[in-house]
């Protein structure tokens, strides 16, 4: 029983910054991989960034140098700091976690999404 809740989305002007948060709740033993995906209208859901145990990160080419993913294990929270935002970044952003619950099994959990709109 794990839930992910995203927050921080909203309307931002081009060139601005925004930080998304994803808080996980439940009986979580360990986070294996957490990350962010996004989906614009009429397009497929694409990977934005991931972070693993040991804080190894991976980014889509379209956001490298502009977005930074981080985590706070004590708070069971992952963040996406977005800078130099562009209108093409407009999308619903989804938090993703591959984790191990205290009872042992691994789960893949998705948040409900938070909308980011970047105006030109």
Buried b (16+ CB within 10 A) or exposed e, 37-76: bbeeeeeeeeebbbbeeeeeeebeeebeeebbbebeeeeb
What rounded mean pLDDT belongs to the chain?
A: 95
Output phi, psi for 75, to 5 deg.
-100, 0
Task: Look at residue 52 in the predicted model and tell me its pLDDT.
Answer: 92
- pLDDT confidence of 54, banded at 50, 70, 90? confident
Residue 74 reports pLDDT greater than 90: no
Task: Look at residue 80 in the predicted model and tell me its pLDDT.
Answer: 98
Task: Look at residue 45 in the predicted model and tell me its pLDDT.
Answer: 96
């Amino acid at each position: 029983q794990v839930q992910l809740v995203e927050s921080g989305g909203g309307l931002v002007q081009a060139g601005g910054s925004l930080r998304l948060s994803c808080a996980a709740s439940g009986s979580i033993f360990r986070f294996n991989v957490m990350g962010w995906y996004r989906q614009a209208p009429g397009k497929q859901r694409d990977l934005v960034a991931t972070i693993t145990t040991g804080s190894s990160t991976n980014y889509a080419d379209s956001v490298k140098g502009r977005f930074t993913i981080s985590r706070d294990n004590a708070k069971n929270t992952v963040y996406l700091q977005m800078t130099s935002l562009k209108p093409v970044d407009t999308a619903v952003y989804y938090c993703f976690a591959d984790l191990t619950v205290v009872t042992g099994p691994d789960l893949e959990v998705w948040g409900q999404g938070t909308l980011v709109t970047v105006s030109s």
